[in-house]
Homo-oligomer: A and B are copies of this chain.
């Protein structure tokens, strides 16, 4: 059975997976780049965006696992863009340009379904109003036997954790205090009991935690 994976999901010391006040200019709201700085410095991130350079240490090793053997992604609507309620701007196709980094089908969870959008490079955005179980069924079908990534944001990862659908999760704890935003862990008391957990600290200051579901 294909696995359900979370990668490069950064949280602050106070448990926020994103800041407050998302906008077109600031996908992570007031958090800015504070949660992603470690990731943006890696060679993997540079390559993903067609650039050379970047670090090749433990941060990069984790960053690189993001794309390995992934056949589809599920993301929340707020990862896709800053619009709320019924879609008004149909021209908006995400923060990732004409050739998004995914190169697979991407299922965007929304209470306002709309026609799929086919991008360059193999990414197609499907907009579905579905429970985690149902979204996963569709994503698995589209993934053709490969794994499904739960791409975030915090609300989406939390929903899949609450439904006990995550097999593998990589969390990067970033030593910043955001104070406000969207918390990852709310309602998940005792979640650690379901997983084997490893921790490794990076010289960047970030701590990588991997959660592997107990069988």
Residues of A in contact with B (beta carbons under 8 Å apart): 11, 13-15, 171, 173, 175-180, 183-192, 197-202, 205-207, 209
Is the Cβ of A198 less than 8 Å from the Cβ of B205? yes
Is the Cβ of B192 less than 8 Å from the Cβ of A175? yes
Is the Cβ of A187 less than 8 Å from the Cβ of B179? yes
Is the Cβ of A175 less than 8 Å from the Cβ of B197? yes
Return A204 CB to nearest CB of chain B, in Å: 9
Residues on the B chain within 8 Å of A177, using CB: 185, 188-192
Q: How far is the CA of A197 from the CA of B192 in the complex (A)?
A: 26
- Which of B13, B175, B191, B201 is close to A15, meaning CB atoms less than 8 Å apart? B13
Is the Cβ of A199 less than 8 Å from the Cβ of B185? no
Residues on the B chain within 8 Å of A171, using CB: 13
By beta carbon, the residue of chain B nearest A171 is B13
